[in-house]
Structure 1
Amino acid sequence: MKPIMGYKRSDGRYGIRNKILVIATVGCANETARRLAERIAGTVFIPAGKGCGQIGDAVEITKRTLTGFVLNPNVYGAVFVGLGCETIQPHEMVARVQKVSDKPVYSFSIQEEGGTTKTIATVVPLLERLVGAAARIVREPVELSALTLATNCGGSDATSGLSVNPALGVATELLVAAGGRSILGETTELIGTEHILIRRAKNQQVKR
């Protein structure tokens, strides 16, 4: 199959998209982060479901998840927005990402900036610069073997089993045949179709 065009990242992976993430580190910052992303095309708002009052392993799981968002090859860079008094601090997330990636990442605290309005006024110019920098990256040919496709249920309806699910299945098989990877993120959607997947298993261990 012919290569497609993608964005090469410094870790050697390729993204098909080239987005800037605006990530809330706590639910209290969701509205500010959402308003920021709405103002700048090319950005994506990632809301926080947690981030405050978490303890134990839950803190580490959340931090690992937020880090993973930034490391996705479809992402050019990110801005973390927090309130300032939460368990998961935005500046801590920047430090965590910088240990494993050279992507541009920044952090802002709503309390330190003096409120939502002032935070938006400060961050919007930065987002504009990040979007501009991302736009200057030139796409290059990418072999399908370098790609990973993530799939997940988007909300089943009466026709999804007849339309989009089979189409996505065909796309997955074409990608895998070309040497790429596909990851299914919601195994409960497989109930009743185990026999179909077993026929496609690469070895006995996967079948079992």
Structure 2
Amino acid sequence: MDKRSHAAEVIRLSNRDNVVIALRDLDAGSDIEEVGVPLVNSVPRGHKIAVRQISKGESVYRYGQIIGEAKADIAPGEHVHVQNLGMGAHQQDYRYGADCVALPKIAETRSFQGYHRADGKVGTRNYVGILTTVNCSGSVARFIAEAAEKAGLFDGFPNVDGVVPIVHSTGCGMSGSNEGYQALFRTLSGYAQHPNFGGILLVGLGCEVMQIADLVGGRQIRADGAMRYMTIQNEGGTRRTIERGLRELEGILELANQTTRAPAPISEITVGMQCGGSDGYSGITANPALGHASDLLVRHGGTTILSETSEIYGAEHLLTSRAESREIGEKLIDQIKWWEDYTARNKGEMDNNPSPGNKRGGLTTILEKSLGATAKGGTAPLAGVYQFAELIDRKGFVFMDSPGFDPCSVTGQVASGANIIVFTTGRGSVSGYKPTPCIKVATNSETYARLSEDMDLNCGDIVTDGVSISDKGEELLDLIIRVASGEETKSEELGFGGAEFVPWQIGAVM
């Protein structure tokens, strides 16, 4: 592992691999010791180079795992990418629980400064949310927030981080009972009781499929009672809804302002782990570093959530082998099978996931991308598998089903209870996810320098400066704790988070 040669120009990730990864742009004809022959082509950094003859139909290995099948004969020193590498048939041995080894607990008590809620959860922020049941009430929710800001309503509530309108493009024109409805129901319910909200104002139109009465259902969604709801039709239109909304908002703000930060064990931190704009470095630097931080948090009793089911495809066996029970492992495979059917009936395919940007960064197949993405999950046992936006009800490393589309996947993780998001990126990403702060981690030093105003941590120094993955993981955990205690991330400083609430729309729009 981590065999480097010729001034770290390439890296070989496993003795089994028949490719190495370029760590800088390499010219045709370059002599690379690990390759053994002059390079046939110019190879961009992050891309693969064959280190021996690979025959057409033969498996190509990276990380010691199959990432695809040669579409043509590949000579030593040749660039390996979309022109000569494809998916091919692949079978996985799921080995349920075979590699499940409990991580040793860390006795040291570490804490953060969080907001303790009446239901026992702890928030990392203290926002008030204006949550909408349907797209039709989205503008009015924004009008209420804008009117509150214009009136200086927040000035007397220093312990509140702000008001967040949560608007979206669905809530009607859908079945009232299918899996799409249930996913939206879980999402809205999860946001309504999220610990990063000190209170919620729920606004509907009145005639939509996603009825407020069904969401509330006669139950107390928030243990602190800091929730109010209304519909535009019952209030008598836009102006009256805004007027009542401001009155209700003031009462919610008074309740939310009573909560201040206090010490909490880091076992109350739940991290949603994401990667987007991935490149050839993702599985070498940032994702393994996040995996190490995940293991550390789990050892402290915390929770980490891996998602993006379409981006673990081909690497799911690495998770099932760590499942705490066969039932948990089979639940993950059931999700994989659902996705195979879902993409097929919508005339898609699982291998269409690597985006043009992923491919420019050196990733060729979904198998290769998935193996790097799964590294975010570290080595901890897989303690549970959850539906999209389903409330996480146990500690440890878990998986939540979601698309690979980052805003949608994060929306599900937040609804499930994530109070911190860590987002690794190779090509670069700009987004935020109110009410949950998002830490952006660059996989390479070039992206970190180019997008320094958006990136919170550089993992490129794992390659350029020889920083160990474990040291970088510990640095990342320290950053997570500081952010959980109130330190602003770059996306928060820039004001992101107003457009990234994206519930997963499953099924027909009618």
1:182 aligns to what?
Answer: 304
1:111 aligns to what?
Answer: 233
1:158/1:88 CA distance change after superposition, 3 Å: same
* 1:18/1:75 contact within 8 Å kept: yes
Structure with max Cα Rg:
2
For residue 217 of structure 2, the aligned residue among 95, 99, 121 is 95
What is the TM-score of this pair, normalised by structure 1?
0.80
* 1:70/1:78 contact within 8 Å kept: yes
Helix, strand or coil: the match of 2:371? Answer: coil
Between structures 1 and 2, the one with greater helix share: 1
Q: Does 1:74 align with 2:196?
A: yes
1:26 aligns to what?
Answer: 134
* 1:21/1:43 contact within 8 Å kept: yes
For residue 200 of structure 1, the aligned residue among 379, 395, 411 is 379
* 1:32/1:120 contact within 8 Å kept: yes
- Whichever residue aligns with residue 202 of structure 1, its letter is P
Q: CA deviation at 1:168?
A: 4.6
Bigger Cα displacement from structure 2, 35-44 vs 7-16: 35-44
* 1:23/1:48 contact within 8 Å kept: no
Q: Does 1:151 align with 2:273?
A: yes
Bigger Cα displacement from structure 2, 111-120 vs 189-198: 189-198
* 1:94/1:105 contact within 8 Å kept: no
Helix, strand or coil: the match of 2:233? Answer: helix
Distance in 1, Cα, partners of 2:132 & 2:290? 31
Q: Which has the higher contact order (CA 8 A, sep 6+)?
A: 1
1:83 aligns to what?
Answer: 205
Q: CA deviation at 1:96?
A: 5.5
Q: CA deviation at 1:163?
A: 8.1
Superposed CA deviations along residues 119-167 of structure 1, whole A, max 9, x for unmatched, are 11211132133123212213221001122112334x5266994887566
5+ residue gaps, structure 2, are 1-108, 155-161, 313-369, 385-396, 398-510
* 1:22/1:80 contact within 8 Å kept: yes
5+ residue gaps, structure 1, are none
What is the TM-score of this pair, normalised by structure 2?
0.36
Distance in 2, Cα, partners of 1:122 & 1:195? 47
Distance in 2, Cα, partners of 1:193 & 1:157? 9
1:141 aligns to what?
Answer: 263
* 1:20/1:130 contact within 8 Å kept: yes
For residue 44 of structure 1, the aligned residue among 160, 164, 184 is 164
Give the superposed CA RMSD: 3.2
Q: CA deviation at 1:33?
A: 1.1
Helix, strand or coil: the match of 1:98? Answer: coil
2:294 aligns to what?
Answer: 172
Bigger Cα displacement from structure 2, 140-149 vs 56-65: 56-65
* 1:6/1:141 contact within 8 Å kept: yes
* 1:80/1:93 contact within 8 Å kept: no
Distance in 1, Cα, partners of 2:186 & 2:129? 16
Distance in 2, Cα, partners of 1:149 & 1:195? 15
* 1:43/1:131 contact within 8 Å kept: no
* 1:67/1:96 contact within 8 Å kept: no
1:177/1:114 CA distance change after superposition, 3 Å: same
2:183 aligns to what?
Answer: 61
1:197/1:4 CA distance change after superposition, 3 Å: closer
Identity %: 35
